[in-house]
Structure 1
Amino acid sequence: MLSPTPQWTRLLAISVVMVSVSAGFLLQDGHSQTARITARDPGVRTGPAGSGQMLSGLTALEQRLFSNSRAVFQEVQSVQGTIANTEAGLGPRFNLDSCAGCHSNPDVGGSSPAVNPQVDVAKKEGAVNEIPSFIKRDGPIREARFKLGPGGTPDGGVQALFTITGRHDAAGCSLPQPDFRTAVAARNVIFRIPTPLFGSGLIEAIDDDTILANIAANSPTKQSLGIVGRANRTTGHPNTSGNDGTITRFGWKAQNKSLEVFSGEAYNVEQGITNDLFPHEREELKSCYFNATPESSTHYEALDPIEVPSDVVKFAVFMRLLAAPTPAADTDTVTRGRKLFGDTGCAFCHTPTLHTGKAVVASLRNKEANLYSDLVLHNMGTGLADDVSQGAARGDEFRTAPLWGLGKRVFFLHDGRTKDLLEAIQAHASGGNGQYAASEANQVIAQFNRLNEIDKQHLLNFLRSL
């Protein structure tokens, strides 16, 4: 008899003959029985987080920079910094009051936790915010965007969930929240969840030429499967900067060029904190204007050189030096699932490995980044389309999400609509309409669906091992 193991481990042992019952999978002692199972998501992998640590091989100075930056990433913000253990700058509109609040699972730098902190922050310090219908305690952290603005013109900008109205440290400020009830009723609101940040420095260190060469690799096979991803360039390649033309790669639509731009924008949009990159308040109502701007800037007066950089720079340093997730050890089922992942065509978009270039940080230079992404935009059809354009990315296009660390994620897809990995896979297939073409993943998902249930389970087990 096998000793008891966690649920996901039992599923990893699927090569043993099993039968499906309502309570789960039970091992059988027969030798020639045929397994009858229904493939299912093994669930969040148990055991150590396997992430949240610094890159190996960092110098003593780089290690100190990482630790200092990680602490800043975890700071909690208040409006004027008058509340104990907080920094000034929150609001006047915001989604949460800490970077690490959004990026916390399974460790600092991850994605949305199982329990949503936005429910509590809505009323924190006396705030009088109404909690929108799409924010649930057991749901994902979300930001909201309106597809259309006044007069039916395309919008797509972030509509901050909360205001500082009523907070003890924001006396005199009165701001209305966006009209989410009307937007939800009109199906005019879309959602995004936090992207995991592990291994971000490796992603930043991948040369554009490497991304473009990967697009060209196996081109006939990709085209036969309907895969024609572009790197967000209007020339039919990746998403790129409108200024220098280089490939952008951060965010759900690869709309941000660098970790520093990504940090500065998030600091301003998600917490309402002005900074050197985004120095102006998004809401300049005088009664809600408490601090000089930018609220977070370079600390020229600091005596310790490590304290000189702004919070935005420190956020970027933290992400840049954050190690990639550590996958679970290989087993027979993981090995089989990895092969099936390639055989079905999943690996054509979720490219297992890209190589970094000549990065300044030695620990990022000429390394293998096992990210399982091509960092390229793909048309995902009407099922996942959010009707929001960012950079050169259209309303039906998304960057291939890196899969490293997937075994520990609670919520899937750009809007966190499901906790079920199998549902997330099936959602990649959808048709088109007059505006959008059918999903590029349709033929790949069809090949996945043709697998027998045991092979589907192997593939799911492999994904949860990442």
Structure 2
Amino acid sequence: NLDSCAGCHLQPAVGGTSPPVNPQVAFATLNGAANSVPSFITANGPVREARFVKNPDGTSDGGVHDLFTIAGRSDASGCRLAQPDFEKEIAHRNVIFRIPTPVFGSGLIEQIPDQAILANQANDVPKKKALNIAGRPNIVLAGHAISGQANKNGNDGTVARFGWKAQNKSLLLFSGEAYNVEMGITNELFQTERDETRICQFAAVPNDVTKTDGKTPVEATSAIEKFALFMRFLAPPAPSPNTPGGADSIARGRNLFSDTGCALCHTPTLNTGNATVAALRNQPVNLFSDLLVHDMGPGLADGVTQGQAGPREFRTAPLWGLGKRLFFLHDGRTSDLREAIQAHRSGNFFTFNASEANAVIRIFNALRNYEKQDILNFLRSL
């Protein structure tokens, strides 16, 4: 999908999210590659990955499909890989999109203890009941109640927390998957080629492994480990005290954000535990997320299951750094923060086909215009 991590994670700096000029357009024909640019990739639009909901035989897919191949490139003589027919799949409503998640402060998120996440899940029960919000432990409830569940790792039961559906439990796993899925680089965690056509492979063995054979200088730390370390120590975003709208408006917006119920999912602060590294030990993490997955209704549903996160469920997106982002929601469908807020509401409030956020969005919509602006100013200050 691209040839560097920074190509996708560049706004407002390396480690961020989709930049203002989409590098995928130029990458499509790099070194003479014979790719067409899919309709959902535009010069001023977000960097996107594409997933097919179903396989041709009707079984579930959900995996990332390579946007581009190396066929035709000057450094890939003889490779004849075919680019997927995305327009055909779009016509059949079989394609969903994801944009890059920012990784600032991710080392702090990694060090939040599972028990802190689960304890926070049980907080504010009276407020949740007042809004018809019912907490639940790791089960899927339909309807309009805000509950949220931890997306637990199937092997060891730990709480996963990275990715749009909280599908990855650690930065190392996140790193290895991104190397393989987004850039086609095999590694110690993902050793299988994206396509096993040998003439289209640059290396007969995984591209990125620990080298101890004596034929090359010993490389005790692989590239994915170095990348995980880089992400682990990226500083969290620093909120602005007075921009936009002034300090008073931001303060009012923060209070309204809590009063409307937004903070019941977008938890302002969690804390790290007894991390090995002092810089990450017992630190506040002002991420504005509970790191749980929630049923967001039919309007945001993507039809893909990852781990225990179902087709309509998404991790509560951390809001820190929101003021520097250009595209919102998991698929980058809007650059308008107001539209992104309204997209949280979908389905009928009185049926079991509704977003958990419906009641909160109803409260938000009942606010006066200047109160809504205060909330927007607060969000943009993060």
Bucket of the pairwise TM-score, normalised by the shorter protein: over 0.9
Give the corresponding residue for 2:67.
161
Contact 1:233 1:240 in 2 (8 A): no
Letter in 1 for 2:112: I
The residue type paired with residue 29 of structure 2 is: K
SS at match of 2:298: helix
| Structure 1 residue 280: Cα displacement | 1.4
How far did 1:436 drift? 6.7
Structure 2 residue aligned with 1:318: 230
Name the residue aligned to 2:93: 187
- 2:170 is the counterpart of 1:274: no
Taking a change above 3 Å as real, the CA distance of residues 286 and 105 of structure 1, as seen in their structure-2 partners, is same
Residue pair 2:272, 2:280 contacting (<8 A) in 1 also: yes
Q: Report the CA distance shift for 1:249/1:167 in structure 2 as closer, same or farther (over 3 A).
A: same
Change (3 A) 1:139 1:227: farther
Aligned to 1:463: 379
Match of residue 96 from structure 1: 2
Per-residue deviation, 1:186: 1.0
Q: Residue type of the partner of 1:430?
A: S
* Change in CA separation of 1:463 and 1:304 when aligned onto 2, cut-off 3 Å: farther
Q: Which amino acid in the other structure matches residue 189 of structure 1?
A: V
What is the correspondence of 1:435-450 to structure 2 with a 5 Å cutoff?
A: 437-450=353-366
Tell me the equivalent position of 1:291: 203
Unaligned runs of 5+ in 1: 1-94
Change (3 A) 1:443 1:233: closer
Cα shift at 1:351: 0.3
Q: Which residue of 2 aligns with 1:70?
A: none
Displaced runs of 4 or more, over 2 A: 223-237, 299-305
Q: Give 1:279's aligned amino acid.
A: Q
Instruction: Give CA deviations for 1:413-432 in whole Å, capped at 9, x if unaligned.
Output: 00000000010000000006
2:118 is matched with which residue: 191, 205, 212?
A: 212
Aligned pairs (5 A) from 1:78-89? none
Report the counterpart of residue 31 of structure 1 in structure 2.
none
Distance 2:131 2:80 in 1: 54
Shift, 1:299, TM fit:
3.7
8 Å CA contact 1:381–1:436 kept in 2: the answer is no
Q: Distance in 1 between matches of 2:332 and 2:359?
A: 24
Structure-2 residue corresponding to 1:199: 105
- How has the CA–CA distance of structure 1 residues 368 and 423 changed in structure 2, closer, same or farther, with 3 Å as cutoff? same
Aligned length: 370
Give the whole-Å Cα distance in 1 for the aligned partners of 2:352 and 2:203. Answer: 45
Distance 2:195 2:206 in 1: 13
| Matched-pair identity in % | 63
1:239 to 132, 151, 161: 151
Residue number in structure 1 paired with 2:172: 260
> What are the Cα deviations for residues 6-36 of structure 1, in whole angstroms up to 9, with x where unaligned?
xxxxxxxxxxxxxxxxxxxxxxxxxxxxxxx
AA matched with 1:337: G
Question: What 5-or-longer segments of structure 2 have no aligned partner?
Answer: 142-147
Q: Which residue of 1 aligns with 2:310?
A: 394
Return the alpha-carbon distance in structure 1 between the equivalents of residues 135 and 69 of structure 2: 39
Q: Give the alignment's TM-score, normalised by structure 2.
A: 0.93
Q: Is 1:338 the equivalent of 2:244?
A: no
Q: CA deviation at 1:225?
A: 2.4
Q: How big is the shift at 1:223?
A: 3.8
Is 2:230 the counterpart of 1:309? no
* Greater radius of gyration (CA): 1
In the aligned structure 2, how far is the partner of 1:231 from the partner of 1:312?
33
